[in-house]
Structure 1
Amino acid sequence: MTGAVLAVDQGTSGTKALVVCPRRGVIGAGSAPVRPRYLPGGRVEVDPGELYGSVVAAGRAALADAGGAAAGVAAVGLANQGETVLAWNPVTGEPLTDAIVWQDRRAEALCAELADHGEALRKLTGLPLDPYFAAPKMAWIRRHLTREGVVTTSDAWLVHRLTGEFVTDAATAGRTQLLDLDTVSWSEAALDAFGLGGERLPRIVDANAPVGTTTAFGPALPLTGLLVDQQAALLAQRVTEPGSAKCTYGTGAFLLAQTGSVPRLGSSGLVSCVAWRLGGRTSYCLDGQVYTAASAVRWLTDLGVLPGGAADLDAVGGSVPDAGGVTFVPALAGLAAPWWRGDLRGSLTGLGLDTGPGHLVRALCEGLAAQVAELADAAASDLGRPLEVLRVDGGLTRSALLMQTQADLLQLPVEVSALPDATALGVGAVARLGLDPGLTVDDAVPRWSPSAVYEPRITASEAAERRARFRAAVRALTAAQGRDAEATSPAGGGGASG
């Protein structure tokens, strides 16, 4: 079968949809905004109706943009945020709560209560105890909001609204901390640990399993592809062999490294999780997170430092030669891997009367790039070999300043994807695999071609010095809150790559 597919990426700040033709590429595109509410106490919520409405609006807009070619669309694929959760009525499909977004920290105290279960849960599910993942949020909803209905990740609700089915894909299930990583099935032990024993959970399916039919976009179309967003981008970047890695710069930044058919539980602080399950065969990956990337840029924008938002990163940052001694730890929603200190807040140090907007922008770029470099080091440690290159995608890759800074601090080439919207393209490839079982992954995934390659322009010793300053700022930040970073980081603040 050679039909086009409608690929929908439901993200944190909006939904993007593409009509992807196997011969002509992207022939239609649409988008719709989503507006999360950022509330005191680290709470982040969104109206579930807004999530579903954005899916329908973006999908219909993409089909309209494709014009007459939309008649050739034969299937739909849906990517999702991963750790965003809500309670809902499985009979009517009506939400019973707002959706608690992946960035939300309200389950911090609940995680602290479960600290004695932390290592057992990590070995079982691959994930450390942290409010970032779905299970703590699900347990919080059950304690504080409602015992009615079902409580799931947002994808299960969206799929139910679209098709009436009650399913989730294996990779999204792996983001809950309720999945046995070895058997790729729900774990009774994990459910019991979170007080979720007896919950009705969605059936776990392959990413390319046809799960039902939807008329939400107009014509009746089978839903043949489901995959969590970062793993979809991993597939689109053709990071399919052990040892290769990608980083997506969106609301947060997410580095994933492929490990193949066996989960790898390392000591670096990275997460071990399912990359995808296709045709009954599971691939695994290592995953590291930076909670605030584009959201940190938006923060500077709201302060007036970047009048034009992310589009002004290069112009404002390029107005000065360096960060002017300013160090920015952009932990505006806490620090994720490899530190796992979600309780921290960000810090700006080295400010002076001569500090200007350009210095703040450069310090932000260095802070983001330094965190990603720490993740790359951690991945190399767990893999037992250094990374050779980093493939990147996402809106912030349009900033030459950020990408050059990333290459400098990594001391590795950074290859920028020529394919915008990699997540949508990844789930589009999965939908094609579900539509035509005779296709191979190599056939379904778009050819890889970087739009730009950034090579390091500074020496390894200068990169090590700049990263050491960042690590010192992190240590000072954690020490100020009563704990030392070296003690809490499994990576132990290892040396710079190169």
Structure 2
Amino acid sequence: MSGPVLAVDQGTSGTKALVVCPERGVIGTGAAPVRPRYGSGGRVEADPAELLDSVLEAGRAALADAGEPAVAVGLANQGETVLAWDPESGAPLTDAIVWQDRRAAPLCDELAPHAEELRSLTGLPVDPYFAAPKMAWIRRHLTRDGVVTTTDAWLAHRLTGALVTDAATAGRTQLLDLDRVDWSPRALELYGLADERLPEVVDAAGPVGATRAFGGELPLTGLLVDQQAALLAQRVTEPGTAKCTYGTGAFLLAQTGPLPRRGDSGLVSCVAWRLGGETSYCLDGQVFTVASAVRWLTDLGVISGAADLDPVGGAVPDAGGVTFVPALAGLAAPWWRGDVRGSLTGLGLDTGPGQLVRALVEGVAAQVAALADAAAADLGAPLTVLRVDGGLTRSALLMQTQADLLQLPVEVSALPDATALGAAAVARLGHEPGLRPEDAVPDWRPSAVYEPRIGATEAAERLGAFRAAVERLLDGAA
């Protein structure tokens, strides 16, 4: 019988850790907060020391809660957050530039003539969201010393001394050849990063090294970027199935199988995971501000936190004609207009907190509906269901609104912390090489299923109003 594994999910606003036993499920949990810093010019930074400390604190707390040792550890990461660091000492040379950061936009503008070439090579549009523009910005403006990588490579190095990144995280850089699943010399050249020492691209499951950071010696056997870890944990393994995670942002991923699908809908084509040398691909769409938009309303004093969404929004029958495009960090897929700012329209003297909450919920759900439509267009068939996870799935108002606007059932995961469970799955696969992926992930069982309560005509009208507001923003920013 195999023993429990420690799974650590290092996220934007905190780190969660689980100790997962194959027979008993989750037997220990731990958490530690992380507070990104928001500055002018679209700057979002984090203290690398805080990221590492949060990993150690959450992991040790989960093991203490379990009261028994683990046999291996898996690590999930933020994906596009980067820093420069000294590969000899492991010391950070810069702050971590978080995935939401927009400061590399001018560098992306310079690369506009090569945008289609880069999209063809890597599956990604040229946008500051991805890691390569941030890496190039660090090299141009902060330091030429050390190595510059995504945070997973730094954390894995601090834990084990290895210099590695998994194929799915590498695919979030815009430096990975999507077909070969290895670094692209041409992309590196275009970003001015051709001479960089880069991490080795490895499978999501397999031995990386060993760490004593959590007590006794533990092998690090799993590495996977956050959204793809949640995709695996929710058993979204067949082409045409999809999930959406509602966290700091919202991230919709649709499985496409063993071949990358390069559509023209505005979604990203990327690596889902590489296991046993075999690559699975997915389509990926993003909403940059979801929980961060809720926090924005909270900071304004409109609500006291996410727990207020349902009681405050549920106190009114509708948004009262208010439309909120929550593009507080720009519009991501399928528009890819980072220069666009959010908008609130239709305000009146009768507008209160309830209408603002309703408008925010509808704005988030409408953006996710746009991603689902784009995925269906690229797949050539409509989605049949959406599986969802993340903290904001606790809002019945958001989930019902999502089902209404999608005109699809929304299945809420019964398993909290799907990303950490995905990290546990790859850790177990790396520790037990003969195990099949379907035997390493939990059975899928929704805690709730939201069916549409409105008809297709009303859904289309509400989506039309939102899209008209987006078009006005796009015209104004043109």
Asked if TM exceeds 0.5, the reply is: yes
- What per-residue deviation string (whole Å, max 9, x for no partner) do you get for residues 202-222 of structure 1? 000000011000000111000
Residue 3 of structure 1, CA deviation: 1.1
Deviations 1:334-380 (A, max 9, x none): 00000000111100000000000000000000000000000000000
- What is the distance in 1 between the residues matched to 2:33 and 2:438? 32
Within 1, Cα distance between the matches of 2:163 and 2:50?
20
Alpha-carbon shift at residue 442 of structure 1 (Å) = 1.1
In the alignment, structure 1 residue 186 sits paired with structure 2 residue 200: no
Matches within 5 A, 1:80-479: 80-307=77-304, 309-479=305-475
* Structure 2 CA distance for aligned equivalents of residues 265 and 481 of structure 1: 27
- Matching residue's letter, 1:337: A
* CA drift at 1:306: 1.1
Determine the structure 1 residue equivalent to 2:25: 25
Q: Which residue pairs with 1:496 in the alignment?
A: none
In the aligned structure 1, how far is the partner of 2:468 from the partner of 2:259? Answer: 35
Whole-Å separation in 2 of the counterparts to 1:93 and 1:384: 47
For residues 411 and 401 of structure 1, the distance between their equivalents in structure 2, rounded to whole angstroms, comes to 15
Offset of 1:27 from its aligned partner?
Answer: 0.3
Residue of structure 2 in register with 1:37 after alignment: 37
Which residue number corresponds to residue 62 of structure 2?
62
Q: Give 1:32's aligned amino acid.
A: A
2:207 counterpart SS class: coil
Determine the C-alpha separation between the residues in 2 that align with 1:302 and 1:231: 31
CA shift digits 1:60-109 (9 cap, x unpaired): 00001112xx23x1000000000000000000000000000000000000
Mapped to 2, the partners of 1:197 and 1:126 lie a distance apart of 19
Per-residue CA distance 1:436-472 (angstroms, 9 max, x = gap): 0111111100000000000000010000000000000
Deviations 1:391-449 (A, max 9, x none): 00000000000000000000000000000000000010110000001111111000000
Q: Is the 8 A contact 2:169 2:224 kept in 1?
A: yes
Runs of 4+ in 1 over 6 A off after TM superposition: none
Point out where structure 1 has 5 or more consecutive residues left out of the alignment: 483-498
Measured in 2, the distance between the counterparts of 1:441 and 1:187 equals 28
Distance in structure 1 (CA, Å) of the matches to 2:90 and 2:113:
36
TM-score relative to the length of structure 2: 1.00
C-alpha displacement of 1:480: 1.3
Q: Which amino acid aligns with 1:379?
A: A
- Partners of 1:35 and 1:219 in 2: how far apart? 29
**C-alpha displacement of 1:2:** 1.2
- What is the SS of the residue equivalent to 1:209? strand
Partners of 1:126 and 1:423 in 2: CA distance: 23
Structure 2 counterpart SS, 1:210: strand
Q: Quote the Cα distance in structure 2 between the aligned partners of 1:360 and 1:477.
A: 19
Query: Offset at 1:239?
Result: 0.1
Q: How many residues align?
A: 478
Identical-residue share of aligned pairs (%): 81
Aligned partner of residue 255 in structure 1, secondary structure: strand
8 Å Cα contact 2:339-2:477 kept in structure 1: no
Aligned residue for 1:285, secondary structure, equals: strand
User: Which amino acid in the other structure matches residue 257 of structure 1?
Assistant: A
Distance in 1 (CA, whole Å) between partners of 2:48 and 2:130 is: 18
Q: Is the partner of 1:343 in helix, strand or coil?
A: coil
Distance 1:182 1:355 in 2: 51
Which SS does the other structure have where 2:306 is aligned? helix
One-letter identity of the residue aligned with 1:431? A
| Aligned-partner Cα distance in 2 for 1:466–1:173 | 38
Matched residue SS, 1:282:
strand
| Matching residue's letter, 1:421 | D
SS, match of residue 466 in structure 2 = helix
In the TM superposition, what whole-angstrom CA distance separates every residue of 1:9-31 from its partner, at most 9, and x where no partner exists?
00000000000000000000000
In 1, distance between residues paired with 2:206 and 2:47?
28
Deviation at 1:305, TM superposition (A): 1.1
Letter in 1 for 2:3: G
Alignment partners' CA distance in 2, 1:234 and 1:356: 37
Helix, strand or coil for the counterpart of 1:480?
helix
